[in-house]
Amino acid sequence: MEIKFNKKMYSLKAVKSAIQAYRGLADFDFKQKGAYIKVELKNINKDVEEMIKDEFCNYVLFLMKL
Amino acid sequence: MKKIKTKINKNQVIFYLSVKIYSLEAIYGAAYVFIDRAYLFLDSCSEKKIAVFLKGKNKLSRKQLEALKGDFLNELLDYAFRIKLSRNSRKLREFIVGQALVSAYGDDEVVQENEIGYEDDPLGIAVSWEDKYGAKPKKAEKENK
C-alpha cells in the first residue's frame, strides 16, 4: 500500500511523527520524490488493514495543526 | 454563482478549492473540525487549486455526502472569516494585552503615588497665579498705560 502526501499540504515532520505512532501496526518506509512524500506500508496488521490508510492520513493532518 | 466542482464515488466526495479564496490555514482549521466525522485527505491539483477528499467513516448516501461537503464549506468560511478578523484586530488586541500587562506591572507605582501628600507637589502644579505671572497691575496703572 502506498500513500502520496503533497509537500505543499503535509510536512515531513508530521509524516515522520505519524509513522512513529503507527509503526506497531505495519512496516513503514518513506521517501521524498519531487513534490511528494511517498509512504509505503507493508505487513499490515490484519485487524486494521481496511482502515489504516484513512486513519493514518487523518493523523498526519491532525499533526499538521499542532 | 459559480458551483464548486464536485465528484462523488466510493463513499467519498472530492471537491476543489481555490487558494486565492481560502488560505491553507483555513483549510487545515476546517479539516481539523471534521477529523472525528470523516476521513480527510488534501492534495494540490494545480498551483491555484487544492483538492479535498472527504470520506465518510460509515457508509453514507449521496445526499449525506453532499451535506458533509456543505458543512465542511460552511466551517471553512467560518475559519477564513475568523482568520481575517484576527489579522484585522491584531493591533488592537496587542494594545489591550499591553495595557493589561502595564497596569499589572505598575501597581507598586500607583501605591507610591498615593503615598505622596498633596503638599509635596512633586510636579509643581500648586503654584499661585501671582507666583507664576506676577501680581495683577492696579487699576490706576492700567489707565496710565
Question: Does the predicted TM-score (pTM) go above 0.95?
Answer: no
Q: What is the mean pLDDT of chain A?
A: 93
Cβ within 8 Å, pair A9-B35: no
Report in angstroms the alpha-carbon separations of B62 from B45, B51, B54, B72, B95: 24, 19, 12, 15, 49
ipTM, two decimals: 0.90
Per-residue pLDDT of chain A in tens (66 residues, 90 and over written 9)? 999 999 999 999 999 999 999 999 999 999 999 999 999 999 999 999 989 999 999 999 999 987
Residue with cell 496488521: A45
Quick: pLDDT tens for B49-96: 999 999 999 999 999 999 999 999 999 999 999 999 998 888 888 889
pLDDT value, residue B32: 92
Mean pLDDT (whole number) for B11-33:
92
Kindly give, in sequence order, each residue whose CB lies less than 8 Å from that of residue B24, ignoring residues fewer than 6 positions away: A8, A9, B50
Residue A19 Cα, gap to closest chain B Cα (Å): 16
Cβ separation of A10 and B42 shorter than 8 Å? Answer: yes
Alpha carbons within 13 angstroms on the beta-carbon side of residue B110 total 6
CA A51 to chain centre: 12
Query: Is B40's CB within 8 Å of A6's CB?
Result: no
Q: Which of B45, B116, B62, B38 is nearest to A62 (CA)?
A: B38
C-alpha cell read off for A19: 509513522
**Pairing outcome for strands B38-44 and B49-56:** antiparallel
Tell me which residues of chain A, numbers 12 to 31, contact chain B at a CB-CB cutoff of 8 Å.
none
